[in-house]
Amino acid sequence: MITGANGSGKSTLLRCLAGLLAPDAGTIDHLEGGSVLSTAERRARIGFVAPDLAFYDELSAGENLEFFAKLRGLPSVRAGELLERVGLPADRAAGALSSGMRQRLRWAWALLARPRALLLDEPFQNLDVEGEDTVRSLLGEHLESGGLAILASPIALEVSGAVSHLNLGR
Amino acid sequence: MTRTISLGLRAALWLVMSLCIWGAFFYAWSDPAFIGQSSRILFFHVPMAWTSFVAYFAAAIWSARYLWGGRQMRHDRAAAAAVECGVLFGVLATITGSLWARIEWGAFWNWDPRQTSIVVVLLFYGAYLALRSAMADAEIRARISSVYALIALVVTPFFYFIVPRITDSLHPQPVINADRKIDVDPRMFHVLIASALTYTVLFFWIHNLRTRTQALVDAREDDPS
Amino acid sequence: MPSPTSTWVASAQAVFTKDWRCELRSRYALNAIGLFAVTTLVVTSAALGPAGTNKSLAINVLPAMLWLILLFAAAAGLPRAFVHEEESHTAIALRLASPPSALFVGKLVFGVTLLLAIEALIAPLYLAVMSLEVNSPGLLVVALVSGGYGLAAGSVLIAALASQARGRSTLFSVLAFPVLMPLLLLAIELTRNAVAGDVAGPALPQLLLYDGSVTIAGLMLFPAVWNP
C-alpha cells in the first residue's frame, strides 16, 4: 500500500515499476530466480490498473479484451471469463461504458495474463458497492494464490492480507 | 597543467587557421578558369560544407551511442550540439556557395545538384531542431531525436544518387565541376586539405564548448539551488 | 504453448485487424484521405483541364502532381495510426501488452494497405480526369505499389516519432517531408517513365532499396521510440 498527498509521485512510481517511464535516477530490478528481468519480461508479469488507462471506443468491451488477449498470445476464452466475472456486457461499445464500467474493464484487462504482480492506482474509484465487492474478491483471490499487489491511493484503504504501508512525502 | 595544454591547443588552432586564410589569398593560385579571383571562395566554402557533413555524421554516432550505449544524457547533448554546429557550417557553406554562384553563374540560386542537396540536408536538421524544441521531457526528447538523427543517416545517402539525375534533366548545360580543377593545381589542393582539417578541428572545439555549457544548463535545471 | 514466432505473428495480425476494424467503424482516415484527394483532384482538374493531351505537361507535370496529391493524402490520414493511440490514452495498454516490433509491423501493414486502397481509388480517377494516357500501365502499377509502400512506411515511422511530441500534426509534416523526399523523387521519375513508355531505369532498384532501408530502420529504431 502506497499512500501520499496529491502530487507526491504515487502514480509516477507505479508507472516506473510498470516500465512505462524511465526513472530519473537509479534502476528498477525485478528479480526472479536470481536474475534481473528486462522491461519486456517485467511487463509480461504485471497487471496494471490506473485512472488514465483507456480502451478503444470503437470496439466493444469483449472485442477490446480479445484484442489484448491475442496480442499477448492468450486464448480468447479468457477474455469472456473475465468479463463475466466483473459483470460487463461483452457487446457494449467501450465508448458507451459508464465510468464505473470502465473501471471494471480495467480490472478485467489487468488480470488477463494472470499476472504475478498487480500495480493498482486508485483501484476502487467510480465503482458501485457491487462492483467494489467483485473487485475486492478478485484481489483476494490474486493474493491467496501467492500474487503480489501494490496499491496506490491518497487515503489509506481497508484491504485484507499482509499489508505494509509506504507513505510518500511531498 | 591541463589549462596550459588547452591554451596551447587554442593558440595552435588560431595560428593554423590564420595560416589557412593567408594561404587562401596569397599561397594558392587564383584559377583563371573562373571569373576574377572568385575561385578563392572555394577555400572557405568547401571546408565548411565538408565540416557540416562531419558534424552530421558525428551527431548520428552520438545518437546511436545514446540509444544503445546505456542512455547517457551526455551523448544526447553531444548529438544535439553536433547538429547545431552542422547547421551553422551548412548555412555558411550555402551562403559562400551562392555568392560564388552569383559571380560565376549569374544568379545566387540555380538548383544545381549540390545546392539542392545542401538545402534538403538543412531541412532535415532544421526539422531535428524543431523536433527537439517540441518535447519538454529530457528522456523522451533524447530518445526521439536520436532516432530521427539515425533516420536522417539512412535517408540522406539517397539524395546522392537521385539529385544529380533529376536536376541534370532541368539544367542541361554542363556545370563547372570544382573538384576537377582542384586536382590540377597542387597549391590549391594543399590549402583545401589544410582548411578542411582545420575547420574540422574548429568544429570539435566549438562542439566541446557547446556541450559543456549545455551540461551546466541541464545541471541547473535539475537542481535549481 | 505456442512458439514465440507464432505469438509474434499473431500479435502483429491482431494490431492490423484491430486498426482496420476501428477504421471501418469510425472511417476517420478513409474520409479524411478520400475527401482530401477528391478535393485536390477537382482543383487541379479545374485549373489545368484535360492536361494529359499536352505531351510535355503529361510527362513533366502530371506525374509530379499525382505524387503530391498522394503525399498530402497520406499526411492527412496516416499520422493517426500513432497519434490517436496517444491522444485517447490507449497507448498505455498497448505499451504494456505488445512487443514493439510486432506492433510496428501491424501498424505498417495497416498503413500500407490503407494507402494502396486510396491509390486504387485516386490513380484511375486522376488518369481519367486529366486524360492522361499511360504507355506502360504495368510500370505505373509497379510505381504505385513500390512508391505507396515507401510513402506509408515512412509516414508510419515518422508518425510514431511525432506522436511523442507536442504539436503533433504540424510537426509530422516538418519531420516527414525531408524523409519522404527521395521516395517522392524516385516515384515521380518512375511514373514519368511509365507515362512516356520508357524502361524503369535505375529509379526502380533505388526505390526498392529505399523501401527496404526504411523498413529495416523502422524495425531497429521503433522499440526505442515506443518504450523508455
Q: Give the β-pairing of A2-4 and A166-168.
A: parallel
The residue among B163, B150, B161, B75 whose CA lies nearest residue C158 is B150
CB C198 within 8 A of CB C218: no
- Which residue would you say has higher pLDDT here, C127 or A156? C127
A21/C26 touch (CB, cutoff 8 Å), yes or no: no
B140/C164 touch (CB, cutoff 8 Å), yes or no: yes
Question: If you measure CA to CA, which chain B residue comes closest to C225?
Answer: B144
Min Cα separation B148/chain A (Å): 20
Min Cα separation B18/chain A (Å): 46
Q: Where are the alpha helices (DSSP H) in C49-167?
A: 55-60, 62-77, 80-87, 90-97, 100-129, 137-162
pLDDT of residue B184: 52
**Cell numbers 532544421 correspond to what residue?**
B126
Residue A163 forms contact with B (CB below 8 Å):
no
How many CB atoms sit inside 10 A of residue B30's CB? 13
Distance CA A25, CA B60 (A): 25
pLDDT digits (tens, 9 = 90+) for A103-141: 999 999 999 988 888 899 888 888 888 888 898 889 888
CA dist list (Å): B92 to B41, B52, B86, B119: 12, 9, 10, 12
The pLDDT confidence band at residue A34, using thresholds 50, 70 and 90, is low
pLDDT digits (tens, 9 = 90+) for A73-113: 888 888 888 888 888 888 888 888 999 999 999 999 999 98
Question: If you measure CA to CA, which chain B residue comes closest to A24?
Answer: B139
pLDDT of residue B177: 47
pLDDT digits (tens, 9 = 90+) for B127-151: 999 999 999 889 999 999 999 999 9
pLDDT of residue B141: 94
Distance CA C93, CA A110 (A): 9
Residues of B in contact with A24 (CB under 8 A): 139
The pLDDT confidence band at residue B58, using thresholds 50, 70 and 90, is very high
Min Cα separation B218/chain A (Å): 13
Residue A141 forms contact with C (CB below 8 Å):
no
Cell readout for B212 is 559543456
Q: How many CB pairs under 8 A join A and B?
A: 3
Which residue from A20, A57, A67 is facing C95, i.e. has the nearest CB? A20
Q: What is the model's pTM?
A: 0.89
Average pLDDT of every residue of chain A: 84
B134/C175 touch (CB, cutoff 8 Å), yes or no: no
pLDDT of residue B182: 43
Residues of A in contact with B71 (CB under 8 A): 22
pLDDT digits (tens, 9 = 90+) for B64-81: 999 999 889 999 999 999
Min Cα separation B152/chain A (Å): 26
Question: If you measure CA to CA, which chain C residue comes closest to A113?
Answer: C97
Taking phi over 0 as left and psi of -120 to 50 as alpha, with beta for the rest, C161 belongs to: alpha
Taking phi over 0 as left and psi of -120 to 50 as alpha, with beta for the rest, A86 belongs to: alpha
Which of B139, B141, B144, B146 to probe the A interface (max A CBs under 10 A)? B139
Residues 63-82 in B contacting A (C-alpha not used; CB under 8 Å)? 71
Residues 7-26 in A contacting B (C-alpha not used; CB under 8 Å)? 22, 24
pLDDT of residue C187: 95
The pLDDT confidence band at residue A162, using thresholds 50, 70 and 90, is low
Question: Chains contacting C with at least 3 CB pairs below 8 Å?
Answer: A, B
Ordered per-residue pLDDT tens for chain C, 228 residues: 567 788 889 999 999 999 999 999 988 888 888 888 888 888 888 888 888 888 888 888 899 999 999 998 898 888 888 888 988 889 989 988 888 999 999 999 999 999 999 999 899 999 988 888 899 999 999 999 999 999 999 999 999 999 988 777 788 999 999 999 999 999 999 999 999 988 888 899 999 999 999 999 999 999 999 888
Distance CA C130, CA C45 (A): 7
Distance CA B146, CA C222 (A): 12
- Which residue would you say has higher pLDDT here, A161 or C115? C115
Distance CA B79, CA C111 (A): 31
Cell readout for C57 is 505537361
Residue A54 forms contact with B (CB below 8 Å):
no
Distance CA C94, CA C102 (A): 11
Average pLDDT in the B170-177 region? 40
Residues of A in contact with C7 (CB under 8 A): 72-73
Question: Chains contacting B with at least 3 CB pairs below 8 Å?
Answer: A, C
- Which residue would you say has higher pLDDT here, A167 or B83? B83
CB B188 within 8 A of CB B31: yes
Residues of C in contact with B150 (CB under 8 A): 217, 221
C181/B120 touch (CB, cutoff 8 Å), yes or no: yes
Per DSSP, the three-state class of A157 is coil
Most confident stretch, A9-23, A153-167, C182-196: C182-196
CA dist list (Å): B149 to B37, B62, B83, C87, C161: 38, 9, 9, 25, 12
Residue A53 forms contact with C (CB below 8 Å):
yes
pLDDT digits (tens, 9 = 90+) for B104-131: 888 888 777 778 888 889 999 999 999 9
Min Cα separation A7/chain B (Å): 17
Average pLDDT in the B83-109 region? 90
pLDDT of residue B170: 41
ipTM, 2 dp: 0.91
Residue A48 forms contact with C (CB below 8 Å):
yes
